[in-house]
Chains A and B, each alone.
Chain A
Amino acid sequence: MTTLALAPAIDRVPQRSRPVREWLAGTLFVVPATMLLLAIIIAPLLCLLILSMTDYEIGAMQIRWLGLGNFEKALSDPVFRRAMGNTLLYVALVLPGGVILGLLVALLVHGRTRSRAFYEVAYFLPVTATLIAMAAVWQFLLHPKLGPVNGLLKAAGFPEMGFISEPSLLIPTLAVIGLWNLIGFNMILFLAGLTAIPRDLYDAAEIDGAGGPIDRFLTVTWPQLAPTTMFVAVTTSITAFKVFDTVAVLTRGRDGSEVLLYAIYLEGFQYFKIGYSAALTVIFLAFMLAFSVFQAFQLDRRVHY
Chain B
Amino acid sequence: MEHSLELTRISKAFGKAGVLSEIDLTVEPGEFLSLVGPSGCGKSTLLRIIAGLERQDAGQVRIGGRPVDDLSPRARNIAMVFQNYALYPHMSAAENIALPLMVDRLSLPERLPLIRHLSLRRKRIEAAISSEIGKVAEALQIEPLLARKPGQLSGGQRQRVALARAMVRQPSLFLMDEPLSNLDAQLRVHMRDELTELHRRLGATFIYVTHDQIEAMTMSTRIAMLDGGRLAQIGSPADLYERPASLTVARFIGSPAINILPARVDPQGHVILGTLPTGLAAPEGMAGPVSLGLRPEHIRLHSSCDRAMPMATLRRSEHHGADRLLHLDLAEDRQTGLIVRIPQDETGHFQPGETYGIGFAPEKAHLFNSSGQRLGTRPLPARIGAAA
Give A contacts to B, CB under 8 Å. 198, 200-201, 203-204, 206-212, 214-215, 218-220, 223-224, 226, 304
Chain A at the B interface: SS class: helix
User: Mind listing 10 A-B residue pairs with CB under 8 Å?
Assistant: A200-B84, A201-B88, A203-B86, A206-B52, A206-B72, A206-B74, A208-B103, A212-B108, A219-B99, A224-B90
Interface string of B93-124 (1 = CB under 8 A from A): 00000011001100010011100000000000
Chain B 207-245 interface mask (CB, 8 Å, partner A; 1/0): 000000000000000000000000000000000000000
Choose among A200, A204, A219, A223 the residue with the greatest number of B CB atoms under 10 Å from its CB: A204
* Most chain B beta carbons < 10 A, residue from A207, A212, A219: A207
In the complex, which of the residues A200, A209, A210, A212 has the most CB atoms of chain B within 10 Å of its own CB atom?
Answer: A209
B72 and A200: CB pair below 8 A?
A: no
B13 within 8 A of partner (CB): no
Contact (A204, B112) CB under 8 Å given A209-B74, A209-B103, A211-B73:
no
Interface stretch of the complex, out of B75-83, B195-203, B258-266: B75-83
Given contacts A198-B84, A203-B82, A223-B89, contact A208 B100 (CB under 8 A): yes
Interface magnitude class on chain B: 20 to 34
Q: Is the CB of B82 within 8 A of A210?
A: no
Please list the residues of chain B having a beta carbon within 8 angstroms of any beta carbon in chain A: 48, 51-53, 72-74, 78-80, 82-84, 86-90, 99-100, 103-104, 108, 111-113, 149, 151, 165
Of the listed residues B48, B52, B90, B151, the one surrounded by the most CB atoms of chain A closer than 10 A to its CB is: B90
Complex CA distance for A207 and B78, rounded to whole angstroms: 7
A123 CB to closest chain B CB, in angstroms? 28
Q: CB within 8 A of B113: which of A210, A212, A218?
A: A218
Contact B82 A214 (CB under 8 A): no
**A203 surroundings in chain B (CB, below 8 A):** 48, 51, 53, 80, 82, 86
Question: Closest Cβ of chain B: how far from A228's Cβ, in Å?
Answer: 14
Across the interface, name the chain B residue whose C-beta is closest to A210.
Answer: B103
Contact B88 A209 (CB under 8 A): no
A207 to B100, CA, bound (A): 8
User: For the complex, what is the distance from the CA of A3 to the CA of B347, rounded to whole Å?
Assistant: 56
- Which residues of chain A come closer than 8 Å to B112, judged between CB atoms? 214, 218
Quick one: given A208-B100, A208-B165, are A304 and B82 in contact (CB under 8 Å)? no
With A215-B108, A223-B90 as known contacts, state yes or no: A304 contacts B149, CB within 8 Å.
yes
Beta-carbon contact of A204 and B80 below 8 Å = yes
Inter-chain contact B86/A201, CB cutoff 8 Å:
yes
Out of B90, B100, B108, name the residue touching A214 (CB < 8 Å).
B108
Checking B73, B103, B151 against A215 with a beta-carbon cut-off of 8 angstroms, the contacting residue is: B103
Q: How distant is B101 from chain A, measured CB to nearest CB, in Å?
A: 9
B86 to A211, Cβ gap below 8 A?
no
Chain A residue with the shortest CB-CB distance to B171: A207
Min CB–CB distance B259 → chain A (angstroms) = 39
Q: How far is the CB of A293 from chain B (nearest CB, A)?
A: 23
Report B-chain residues with C-beta under 8 Å of the C-beta of A215.
Answer: 103, 108, 111
Q: How far is B258's CA from A101's CA once the two chains are assembled, in angstroms? A: 61
Residues in B neighbouring A220, C-beta threshold 8 A: 88
Report Cα–Cα, A207/B50, bound state, in Å.
11
**Closest CB of chain B to A94's CB: distance in Å?**
24
Contact assessment for B108 and A208 in the assembled complex, using a CB-CB cutoff below 8 Å? no
Q: Which residues of the other chain, A, contact B149 by a CB distance below 8 angstroms? A: 304
Chain A min CB distance to B242 (Å): 37
- A207 and B80 contact, CB distance less than 8 A: yes
Q: Cβ of B99 and Cβ of A210 under 8 Å apart?
A: yes
Bound-state CA distance A201–B113 (Å) is 20
* Candidates B52, B53, B82, B88; contact of A223 at CB < 8 Å: B88
Pairs A-B, 3 closest by C-beta atoms: A209-B74, A204-B86, A200-B86
Name the residue of chain B whose CB is nearest to the CB of A204.
Answer: B86
> Do B82 and A209 touch (CB < 8 A)?
no
- Complex Cα distance, B78 from A211, in Å, reads 14
- In the docked arrangement, what's the CA distance between A215 and B79, Å? 18
